[in-house]
A and B are shown apart, each in its own frame.
Chain A
């Protein structure tokens, strides 16, 4: 690990003021410290934002505002979340381990980086880590890589469970930074790799996430389901967050987001469009899933994710419809 300077921010504004090139914000540290030890992240300065007073969960009418420094476990255990956003609570609970959830912050969860083995190994090439060096995953170990929205530069996936549920909910990410304050609606925080895979998100240097705001819970039942070969403490092969609102057997509102399939939490807009206003039948669900996955470009060893995602969409919607 490279030597660095550590400072504790007194306020969000103070954190932004202390930001300089080479600075990184430290939340729970569960991914950043990991990456620093691997040599993947080499900040010259760490600004610790984990103890900022951004650790409250506050209802605002039928909305809910979650401070960026709230710990994952506190979010999942919060009565309002369990009552009104069970899909999000379950997504958070399926992530990592009890210990990691106790440490990890909401802001940090959103900004965690891919677990692609090449990205995490500084002795091998990776366009995301070192632009222009190539993507060996395409010909190599890509069993848990992206099937949607990937590029010739990068086939990595975003590892967060929570972000998938937030994408389905259309949560708003509040950001402060050198350019002032702004609000980014999910799933717009994360970006596809294109030919600049080094950028995971639309954030600018010095931007600091201060809160995540949940809109009123969408009507209809919801679910989060995660598939993994180890029964716990594993990243998703594929996961799904879905909400389905039926009116007289017709799909009113419908939200579907997939995890483990793309560089971003993947909002399945094509499937949603195909469903809204139509019948809630198995055939319709299958047609919607296939519409979404038509764009899939699997690699030899992750091709199983296509039928897996399709099955998950169909089965989850069937369950919600019943």
Chain B
């Protein structure tokens, strides 16, 4: 079964947020702060207001009213304080895009600037321990005595890994189109990973009851986390529509996205590992240093995967955060697991070399019986199976561990492995199923951001109803449909699928209509460690002349419960792995210490992988039967693909060259310079 929306997507008819035909639409264009910290003294909009087509200028000069509950990055124009360079400080509404953009350049904002601090360091005096890390884990955990474990170890390593600011960069820039209808109801076409949660956030921001807001997001041009929470452009569109009485469209530019739609915090990660003579861990410590803004606290859970991965008598994980004059970081594909497993799995490779062990055997040896941090049983865990299957496919048995000895002309060749993991959770959702003339209509406010949600929910419903999928019609992407969890945390299919499955069960009772609300069922879920696992293998070619790194082969082997659609699953896995390849070799946003804000805010400077970068990529899986998850027996697969990829590539680069780069991305500069 091909993607249900395939035809509209290949014919150009799929409608994304900025593309709904609305009569009399106008255009908003934001004005961004030029200082990284300070106070707005004055906004002079006289010149802008006199320009052709301009309808309004919004700013803190005359703050448009929002509810007291409006918070953080969404409390537009409510304060005169500037928290970071690039923050939205005003906006112009005009009859055309060209006029709005030209007038935005004519808005004069006077600042009283203050000294800013945008530099993350592990010695920053402002570092503190956050109460919790995303989405609610304790900041620090541990058991046993790490110092004693290290002292007793036969082999120890102590290493620091760093990752840069990374940006989600979905292909569709954030856009919203809003209007208030004759009855005062707010309609927002938004680029959103969750219509229900988006509606709630917008309603709260404007002090409206939730049913006075409707959010529609039928097609979403990628998100990877940065459309998981409502972004300022949605509030701005609604606010501007109220001020002007006209429908307002706003599509952020690619440059603006870098400033106001979230990013992955840079990380500094310190790891200490000890192993006994057999290779069994005696201690594991993982401490992550990260940033957030002065607007909101967001603490990425970077050290959390170390609580899941390996058995050790002594474990310590911790997060330290500093609030800088920067934009607020947020979710980017596999927050926590992605950067954390890069460092942990690179450190495991270093430990394997230091201990003279095969990196796969080291991981197998330390595979735990129960979840190390919590002691909970795993619902299922087949990391070992993934490592073994990958080893077979990658011909690992014949691998010579000696680094820097394989050469093909100018190219040094190496292979590397890394484990990956991602939680398998689900959240309450509602669904409705109805029948008419032998056709079945399934309704749920789910989101398809490219995952294939429509398609997989159709399959789930068809199977539960015992009917041909062609007779099932799934309606999603609208907050007027039954409430659903957002597309995030790899929880979409598990959450929505549970609701759809139960609604179909309910439907079978009378064959007319079925309803489900999974809140109670999920509240009764037994306490258990639920995670997907996998192993990533990479073959890297490093050019000895130029320092260029190319990944000639990437293999992911995953154990993620029951895979419901092989085609969609493979696309999700390889998509995540491709993003991981970008993280390994090229992705980096530059923090401008002199002026604040970010540099390289476009796709010519912030490189994401191009087609030519991905010559050989495969994803396979081991089917698992896991009764402890949900009616489908599935684990989420949207994020695990990016976890571990960068470590596998970094480990392959070490195997190729004998040189360990501990600072992403692994660019020609970092390959070439240690030699001089």
Determine how close the nearest CB of chain A comes to the CB of B143; give it in whole angstroms.
42
Find chain A residues with CB under 8 A from B593 CB: 140
B548/A227 in contact, CB under 8 A: yes
Whether B204 is near chain A, meaning CB under 8 Å from some CB there, is no
Find chain B residues with CB under 8 A from A301 CB: 669
Whether B524 is near chain A, meaning CB under 8 Å from some CB there, is no
Chain A binder among B54-62, B359-367, B443-451, B584-592: B584-592
B102/A307 in contact, CB under 8 A: no
A1/B98 in contact, CB under 8 A: yes
B612/A231 in contact, CB under 8 A: yes
Whether B611 is near chain A, meaning CB under 8 Å from some CB there, is yes
A229/B585 in contact, CB under 8 A: yes
Whether B408 is near chain A, meaning CB under 8 Å from some CB there, is no
B102/A3 in contact, CB under 8 A: yes
B594/A39 in contact, CB under 8 A: no
Whether B281 is near chain A, meaning CB under 8 Å from some CB there, is no
Whether A232 is near chain B, meaning CB under 8 Å from some CB there, is yes
A1/B604 in contact, CB under 8 A: no
Find chain B residues with CB under 8 A from A315 CB: 410, 545
B607/A229 in contact, CB under 8 A: yes
Q: Which residue of A lies closest to B253 (CB)?
A: A37
A227/B668 in contact, CB under 8 A: yes
Q: Which residue of A lies closest to B85 (CB)?
A: A123
A117/B101 in contact, CB under 8 A: no
A140-B594 contact in complex given A115-B605, A301-B669, C-beta closer than 8 Å: yes
Whether A308 is near chain B, meaning CB under 8 Å from some CB there, is yes
Q: Give bound CA distance, A2 to B106, whole Å.
A: 10
A117-B599 contact in complex given A1-B102, A307-B675, C-beta closer than 8 Å: yes
Whether B613 is near chain A, meaning CB under 8 Å from some CB there, is yes
Determine how close the nearest CB of chain A comes to the CB of B478; give it in whole angstroms.
34
B668/A136 in contact, CB under 8 A: no
Determine how close the nearest CB of chain A comes to the CB of B544; give it in whole angstroms.
8
Determine how close the nearest CB of chain B comes to the CB of A42; give it in whole angstroms.
10
Find chain A residues with CB under 8 A from B585 CB: 229-230
Whether B34 is near chain A, meaning CB under 8 Å from some CB there, is yes
A228/B548 in contact, CB under 8 A: yes
Whether A124 is near chain B, meaning CB under 8 Å from some CB there, is yes
Find chain B residues with CB under 8 A from A231 CB: 550, 610, 612-613
A304/B546 in contact, CB under 8 A: no
Whether B609 is near chain A, meaning CB under 8 Å from some CB there, is yes
Q: Give bound CA distance, A304 to B613, whole Å.
A: 22
A141-B672 contact in complex given A229-B607, A230-B613, A231-B550, C-beta closer than 8 Å: no
Q: Give bound CA distance, A244 to B293, whole Å.
A: 56
A312/B34 in contact, CB under 8 A: no
Determine how close the nearest CB of chain B comes to the CB of A322; give it in whole angstroms.
12
Whether B667 is near chain A, meaning CB under 8 Å from some CB there, is yes
A308-B605 contact in complex given A39-B105, A136-B595, A229-B585, C-beta closer than 8 Å: no
A140/B545 in contact, CB under 8 A: no
B600/A141 in contact, CB under 8 A: yes
Whether B673 is near chain A, meaning CB under 8 Å from some CB there, is yes
Find chain A residues with CB under 8 A from B605 CB: 115, 117
Find chain A residues with CB under 8 A from B604 CB: 115, 234-235
Whether B75 is near chain A, meaning CB under 8 Å from some CB there, is no
Interface-centre pick from A39, A117, A143 (highest chain B CB count, 10 A): A117
Contact residues, B460-510 vs A (CB, 8 A): none
B668/A237 in contact, CB under 8 A: yes
Name B592's contact: one of A141, A143, A232, A237 (CB within 8 Å).
A141
A307/B610 in contact, CB under 8 A: no
Find chain A residues with CB under 8 A from B675 CB: 307
A308/B607 in contact, CB under 8 A: no
Name B672's contact: one of A115, A118, A228, A304 (CB within 8 Å).
A304
A140-B599 contact in complex given A229-B585, A229-B607, C-beta closer than 8 Å: yes
Determine how close the nearest CB of chain B comes to the CB of A177; give it in whole angstroms.
31
A304/B611 in contact, CB under 8 A: no
Contact with A along B646-676 (1 / 0, CB 8 A): 0000000000000000000101111011011
Whether B547 is near chain A, meaning CB under 8 Å from some CB there, is yes
Q: Give bound CA distance, A229 to B582, whole Å.
A: 10
Q: Which residue of A lies closest to B86 (CB)?
A: A123
Determine how close the nearest CB of chain B comes to the CB of A240; give it in whole angstroms.
10
What is the interface residue range for chain A against chain B?
20 to 34
Find chain A residues with CB under 8 A from B672 CB: 304, 307-308, 311
Q: Give bound CA distance, A304 to B667, whole Å.
A: 10
B586/A230 in contact, CB under 8 A: yes
Q: Which residue of A lies closest to B600 (CB)?
A: A117
Whether A58 is near chain B, meaning CB under 8 Å from some CB there, is no
Contact with B along A120-136 (1 / 0, CB 8 A): 01011000000000001
Name B610's contact: one of A121, A141, A233, A308 (CB within 8 Å).
A233
A121/B599 in contact, CB under 8 A: yes
Find chain B residues with CB under 8 A from A1 CB: 98, 101-102
Whether B549 is near chain A, meaning CB under 8 Å from some CB there, is yes
Whether A139 is near chain B, meaning CB under 8 Å from some CB there, is yes
B546/A232 in contact, CB under 8 A: no
Q: Which residue of B lies closest to A227 (CB)?
A: B546
Whether A303 is near chain B, meaning CB under 8 Å from some CB there, is yes
Q: Give bound CA distance, A242 to B585, whole Å.
A: 28
Contact with B along A149-191 (1 / 0, CB 8 A): 0000000000000000000000000000000000000000000
Q: Give bound CA distance, A237 to B671, whole Å.
A: 14
Contact with A along B541-556 (1 / 0, CB 8 A): 0000111111000000
Q: Give bound CA distance, A10 to B359, whole Å.
A: 69
Contact residues, A285-309 vs B (CB, 8 A): 301-304, 307-308
Name A312's contact: one of B32, B546, B549, B665 (CB within 8 Å).
B546
Interface-centre pick from B34, B590, B667, B669 (highest chain A CB count, 10 A): B669
Q: Give bound CA distance, A230 to B673, whole Å.
A: 19
B607/A232 in contact, CB under 8 A: no
Determine how close the nearest CB of chain A comes to the CB of B541; give it in whole angstroms.
11
Find chain A residues with CB under 8 A from B669 CB: 143, 301-304
Find chain A residues with CB under 8 A from B586 CB: 229-230
Contact with A along B15-33 (1 / 0, CB 8 A): 0000000000000000010
Q: Give bound CA distance, A303 to B545, whole Å.
A: 15
Find chain B residues with CB under 8 A from A121 CB: 599
Find chain A residues with CB under 8 A from B34 CB: 123
Contact residues, A86-138 vs B (CB, 8 A): 115, 117-118, 121, 123-124, 136
Q: Which residue of A lies closest to B410 (CB)?
A: A315
Find chain A residues with CB under 8 A from B590 CB: 117, 141
Q: Which residue of B lies closest to A120 (CB)?
A: B602
Determine how close the nearest CB of chain A comes to the CB of B597; give it in whole angstroms.
8
Which A residues have a C-beta under 8 Å from some C-beta of B?
Answer: 1-3, 39, 115, 117-118, 121, 123-124, 136, 139-141, 143, 227-235, 237, 301-304, 307-308, 311-312, 315
Given contacts A115-B605, A227-B547, A229-B667, 16 further A-B contacts (CB under 8 A): A1-B98, A3-B102, A115-B604, A117-B600, A124-B595, A139-B594, A141-B599, A227-B668, A229-B585, A229-B665, A231-B610, A231-B612, A232-B611, A302-B669, A303-B673, A304-B668
Q: List 15 A-B contacts (CB under 8 A).
A: A1-B98, A117-B605, A121-B599, A124-B592, A124-B595, A136-B595, A141-B600, A227-B546, A227-B547, A229-B586, A232-B611, A235-B604, A303-B673, A304-B670, A307-B675
Which B residues have a C-beta under 8 Å from some C-beta of A?
Answer: 32, 34, 98, 101-102, 105, 410, 545-550, 585-586, 590, 592-595, 599-600, 604-605, 607, 609-613, 665, 667-670, 672-673, 675-676
Which 4 pairs across A and B sit closest by C-beta, in order of nearness? A304-B669, A232-B612, A231-B612, A227-B546
